[in-house]
C-alpha cells in the first residue's frame, strides 16, 4: 500500500465570495467567529467558521478554506484566509453602506440610497456624491457628513488593508490611523511594538502577533524592550508599583517564549541594563536586612511614588496653630444644637482634623465615618475655610454631596483635566483653590491619582482622607491608604464603635462578622423577609443563574423595588455561568428586553440597547468619563452609528470605533463596584470563582448594599471567601519612603 493510500489527502481548498448575513458568534479577544454567509447561486445560507480580526454583517468577503462536516452542526466552511471586497449585489451594497463603516449612513439611510441608485450606488458616492440629495430624507448637511466620512474611509483604506492583512481589526485600524496618520504603515512596519504603548486596546500580545506577521524575529531588541514594559504593566494590573529584578526576569522569559523560541535569562538581564542606560527603566537598590535587592520600576511609577512621598512630607512639615479649647466649645454647641451626641472617638477625630495638616479617618460600616466627616466640614465652615469635597467616582461623589449637604466632585473634575494637553490643570504651581480638602473612598486611590491629587494640595491647606482599609485595595497600582497608615507619619483616627441604629442592620453586623473571620448570620429568602441580609442556596452555578432571574422576577417587585433602577448584581469574576459576561446577557434579556420602541445595535457579540445600564471600562480623558463610571444608554443613532450614555452629571456620545470602552453593567465585578452603593445587591458566590474568593472581596460586595443584600450560592463558597485573607503583598515602597525620613 502506498503512503497516499494509507494517508488520504486533505480536502481541497476552495474559494467562495459572498455577503455576511449575520454573526452567530464573534469573540473580540480571539477573533473566533461563526457566521452565516450568502454566496451567489446558493439557496441556503452557508455557515463559515474561522478567525476574523474584524467582521460585520453586510461585508462582502472572498474566503478561502475547506469544507468540513461538524458532527452536531453539519456542513461548515472552515476559513483559512479572507479579504474584503466591494459588494456587487444590491443587498451587499446596502449592507456595506449600513455596516457602520461610513459615519452618517446607517441601515435606514443605506436602504433609501440603494433603492434610489441601485447598482450605481458606489459609483455615485465616489464621483457624484452631491446627487445624494435626490434621496428622500437626505439634506445637504447630511451629504457633507457622508462625504467627509467616505473620503476619510478612502484615505485609511490602504492602511486598513495593510493592517487587516496582518490581523488588525477595522476598529483598531481606525485608531492606528488617528494616532499616526499617513505614517501609520511606516511606523508599524518598522516597530509594531509602538502600538502597545500608543494605542489603547492594542497590547503587547496583539503587537507581537503583528510583528511576527511582518517577519520581525523573536530575538528583536524592540520585542524584548516592549516585552519587559508589558510585564511591568501586567504587574501593575495586580497592584504592583515595581518588580524585584529576579521576578521581572522570570516573568519576562515566560512572556517572551514562543513554541519555536526560548529566551535566556541573561539576555533579559542585559536588556534591563540597556533600558536603564536609556532611561526606559529605573532600578533602585533597596537594603533589606543583610541583602541588597534590585527593584525595577517603569519610570512613571518611580516618579509618582517618589514625588507623592515628598509632597506629603512637605505638607506634614507645615504645622498648624489652633485654639483647641475653642474647638471643643464649638463641638459642645454643635452637639447641643443638632441633638446628636458624638462618641469619644468621633470627637477626637474632629479635634484632630482641626489641628492637623493631614488626617486619615477610617473605620467599618456603622461606625459613624459619614457623620464625623459632616461634622468636620461644619467645623471648617465655622472657621471660615473654603472647602472642597471629592471622591474617585461620580457615584461616590454624588453620595458624598448628599450626606454632607456640600457640593462634591470627582477627583478628576476637581483637578480640572485638560484633554488638549492630557494633563491636570491643578498641580504644584496651580493648586486647588481651597483651605481644606475632603477625599472620601480613599481606599480607591491608586498611585497615580494620589500623586496628582496630593501635589495639587496647597501647602497651607488641610487634607482629610476618609476610607475603609478592609475593602478591596485600588484597582490601579499601589496600596496608598494602607501605606499611609502603615508609615505612621500621618495622624490616623480609626472608628471602631458600631452605633445602636447601625446594629439594627444585619448587613452591617454581618460585615463586621466577616471581618473578624466569622460566618455571617443569613436568613433564607422568603416572600416576607425579616432582615436586610438574605441567602439563597442554589448549590450549582446553573441553578444560581436561574435563582437570580427568579429573584428579579418575583421577590424584588414584591418588596417594592424596581430591578432596572434598584438592583445591582455583583460577581467575583467575569467568567462562568454566574460571571458578569453570562449574567449580563441573561439580565439584559430579562430587565431590558428588545422592543420595537428601543433602538439597538450589535458590536461583535455584544448587543447594546436603549435603556441598558453600561459601565465605562477605561479612563477617557477626552470625554471626561472614567473607569468605573456607570450610566444608562439614552439614545442610539443607527444612521451615524453613535451611542449616547447618560451618566450622573451629563450625557456622553460614543462612535463605533470607541464602543469597546463601554460594556453592559447589569452585572459588574465587585472590584468595579468600589465607591458605589445600591439599594439592592445580589451577590453570587460559587466555588468556580475560588481563585478570586477572599474576605475583603465578600466584605466589599456586601457593604455596597444600602437596603437589601442577597447572597446566592453554597455556604462552602462563602466559608472559603471568609477563610482566604488575600491581603496579597503589593510591591510598593510608599510606606518605606515616608518612614525612612521619620527615622
Which residue bears the cell 537594603? 287
Give the largest Cα separation in the chain, rounded: 106
Distance CA 263, CA 219 (A): 8
Per-position DSSP letters for 329-370, written without gaps between them: HHHHHHHHHHT-PPPHHHHHHHHHHHH-SEEEEEE-TTSSHH
Distance CA 628, CA 620 (A): 11
Residues in contact with 421: Cβ distance below 8 Å, sequence separation at least 6, in sequence order: none
Which residue bears the cell 510591591? 731
Distance CA 238, CA 513 (A): 27
Helix, strand, coil percentages, rounded to 5, for the chain: 45, 20, 35
Residues in contact with 159: Cβ distance below 8 Å, sequence separation at least 6, in sequence order: 173, 176, 177, 184, 185
388 secondary structure, DSSP code: E
Answer yes or no: are the C-beta atoms of 450 and 478 closer than 8 Å.
Answer: yes
Which residue bears the cell 478612502? 154
| Terminal Cα distance for the chain, rounded | 85
Whole-angstrom CA distances from 601 to 37, 337, 524, 609, 640 are 20, 57, 40, 7, 12
Distance CA 583, CA 579 (A): 6
Strand locations in 444-507 (E) = 462-467, 492-495
Answer yes or no: are the C-beta atoms of 734 and 305 closer than 8 Å.
Answer: yes
The x, y and z cell numbers of residue 14, run together, are: 476552495
**Where is the binding site for ATP, in residues?**
366-370
Comparing C-alpha atoms, which of 551, 524, 548, 578 is closest to residue 686?
A: 578
Which residue bears the cell 485573607? 725
Our CA dihedral for 559, 562, 564, 566, rounded to 10 degrees, sits at -70
Burial of 267 (0-12, 13-18, 19+ CB in 10 A): middle
Which helix (H) or strand (E) element contains residue 408? strand 408-410
Residues in contact with 227: Cβ distance below 8 Å, sequence separation at least 6, in sequence order: 204, 208, 252, 255, 256
45 secondary structure, DSSP code: P
Distance CA 190, CA 222 (A): 10
Comparing C-alpha atoms, which of 622, 600, 620 is closest to residue 660?
A: 620
Secondary structure of 9-27 as H, E, C letters: CCCCCEEEEEEEEEEEEEC
How many Å separate Cα 720 from the centre of its chain?
Answer: 27
Our CA dihedral for 307, 308, 309, 315, rounded to 10 degrees, sits at 100
**Where is the binding site, in residues?**
366-370
Distance CA 65, CA 11 (A): 9
Amino acid at each position: 500500500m502506498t503512503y497516499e493510500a494509507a494517508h488520504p489527502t486533505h480536502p481541497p481548498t476552495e474559494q467562495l465570495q459572498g455577503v455576511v448575513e449575520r454573526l452567530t458568534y464573534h469573540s473580540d479577544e480571539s477573533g473566533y467567529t461563526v457566521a452565516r454567509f450568502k454566496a451567489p447561486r446558493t439557496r441556503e445560507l452557508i455557515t463559515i467558521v474561522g478567525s476574523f480580526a474584524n467582521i460585520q454583517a453586510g461585508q462582502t468577503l472572498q474566503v478561502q478554506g475547506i469544507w468540513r462536516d461538524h458532527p452536531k452542526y453539519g456542513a461548515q466552511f472552515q476559513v483559512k484566509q479572507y479579504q474584503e471586497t466591494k459588494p456587487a449585489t444590491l443587498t451587499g451594497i446596502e449592507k456595506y453602506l449600513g455596516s457602520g463603516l461610513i459615519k452618517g449612513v446607517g441601515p435606514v439611510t443605506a436602504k433609501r440610497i440603494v433603492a434610489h441608485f441601485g447598482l450605481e450606488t458606489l459609483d455615485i458616492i465616489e464621483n457624484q456624491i452631491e446627487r445624494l440629495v435626490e434621496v428622500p430624507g437626505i439634506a445637504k448637511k447630511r451629504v457633507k457628513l457622508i462625504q467627509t466620512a467616505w473620503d476619510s474611509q478612502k484615505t485609511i483604506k490602504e492602511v486598513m488593508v495593510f493592517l487587516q492583512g496582518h490581523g488588525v481589526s477595522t476598529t483598531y485600524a481606525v485608531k492606528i490611523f488617528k494616532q499616526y496618520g499617513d505614517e501609520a504603515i511606516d511606523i508599524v512596519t518598522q516597530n509594531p511594538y509602538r502600538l502597545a504603548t500608543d494605542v489603547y486596546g492594542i497590547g503587547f500580545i496583539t503587537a507581537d502577533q503583528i510583528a511576527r506577521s511582518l517577519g520581525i524575529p523573536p530575538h528583536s531588541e524592540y520585542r524584548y524592550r516592549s516585552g519587559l514594559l508589558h510585564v511591568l504593566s501586567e504587574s501593575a494590573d495586580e497592584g504592583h508599583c515595581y518588580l524585584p529584578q529576579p521576578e521581572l526576569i522570570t516573568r519576562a522569559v515566560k512572556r517572551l517564549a514562543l513554541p519555536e523560541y526560548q529566551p535566556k535569562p541573561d539576555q533579559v538581564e542585559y536588556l534591563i541594563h540597556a533600558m536603564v542606560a536609556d532611561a526606559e527603566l529605573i532600578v533602585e537598590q533597596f537594603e533589606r536586612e543583610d541583602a541588597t535587592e534590585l527593584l525595577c520600576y517603569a519610570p512613571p511609577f518611580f516618579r509618582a511614588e517618589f514625588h507623592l512621598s515628598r509632597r506629603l512630607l512637605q505638607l506634614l512639615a507645615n504645622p498648624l496653630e489652633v485654639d483647641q479649647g475653642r474647638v471643643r466649645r464649638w463641638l459642645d454647641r454643635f452637639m447641643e444644637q443638632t441633638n446628636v451626641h458624638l462618641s469619644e472617638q468621633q470627637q477626637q477625630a474632629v479635634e484632630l482634623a482641626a489641628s492637623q495638616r493631614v488626617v486619615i479617618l477610617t473605620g467599618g460600616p456603622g461606625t459613624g465615618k459619614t457623620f464625623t466627616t459632616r461634622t468636620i466640614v461644619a467645623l471648617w465652615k465655622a472657621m471660615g475655610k473654603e472647602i472642597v469635597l471629592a471622591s474617585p467616582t461620580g457615584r461616590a461623589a454624588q453620595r458624598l454631596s448628599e450626606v454632607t449637604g456640600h457640593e462634591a466632585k470627582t477627583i478628576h473634575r476637581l483637578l480640572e483635566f485638560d484633554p488638549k494637553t492630557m494633563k491636570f490643570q491643578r498641580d504644584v504651581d496651580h493648586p486647588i483653590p481651597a483651605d481644606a480638602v475632603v477625599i472620601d473612598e480613599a481606599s480607591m486611590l491608586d498611585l497615580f491619582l494620589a500623586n496628582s491629587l496630593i501635589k495639587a494640595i496647597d501647602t497651607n491647606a488641610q487634607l482629610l482622607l476618609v476610607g475603609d482599609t478592609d475593602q478591596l485595595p485600588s484597582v490601579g497600582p499601589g496600596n496608598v491608604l494602607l501605606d499611609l497608615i502603615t508609615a505612621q507619619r500621618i495622624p490616623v483616627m480609626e472608628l471602631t464603635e458600631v452605633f445602636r441604629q447601625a446594629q439594627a442592620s444585619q448587613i452591617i453586623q454581618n460585615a463586621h462578622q466577616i471581618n473578624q473571620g466569622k460566618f455571617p448570620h443569613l436568613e433564607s429568602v422568603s416572600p416576607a423577609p425579616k432582615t436586610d441580609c438574605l441567602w439563597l442556596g442554589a448549590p450549582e452555578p446553573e441553578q444560581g443563574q436561574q435563582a437570580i432571574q427568579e429573584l428579579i422576577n418575583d421577590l424584588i417587585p414584591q418588596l417594592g423595588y424596581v430591578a432596572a433602577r434598584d438592583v445591582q448584581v455583583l460577581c467575583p469574576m467575569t467568567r462562568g455561568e454566574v460571571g458578569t459576561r453570562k449574567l449580563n446577557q441573561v439580565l439584559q434579556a430579562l430587565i431590558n428586553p428588545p422592543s420595537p420602541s428601543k433602538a439597538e445595535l450589535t458590536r461583535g457579540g455584544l448587543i447594546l440597547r436603549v435603556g441598558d445600564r453600561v459601565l465605562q471600562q477605561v479612563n477617557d480623558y477626552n470625554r471626561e468619563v472614567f473607569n468605573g463610571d456607570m450610566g444608562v444608554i439614552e439614545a442610539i443613532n443607527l444612521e451615524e452609528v453613535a451611542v449616547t450614555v447618560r451618566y450622573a452629571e451629563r450625557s456622553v456620545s460614543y462612535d463605533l470605533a470607541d464602543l469597546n470602552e463601554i460594556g453592559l453593567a447589569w452585572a459588574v465585578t465587585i472590584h468595579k463596584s468600589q465607591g458605589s452603593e445600591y439599594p439592592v445587591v445580589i451577590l453570587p458566590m460559587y466555588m468556580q470563582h475560588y481563585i478570586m474568593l477572599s474576605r475583603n472581596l465578600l466584605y466589599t460586595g456586601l457593604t455596597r448594599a444600602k437596603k437589601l443584600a442577597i447572597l446566592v450560592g453554597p455556604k462552602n463558597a462563602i466559608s472559603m471567601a471568609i477563610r482566604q485573607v488575600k491581603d496579597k503583598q503589593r510591591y510598593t515602597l510608599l510606606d518605606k519612603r515616608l518612614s525612612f525620613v521619620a527615622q
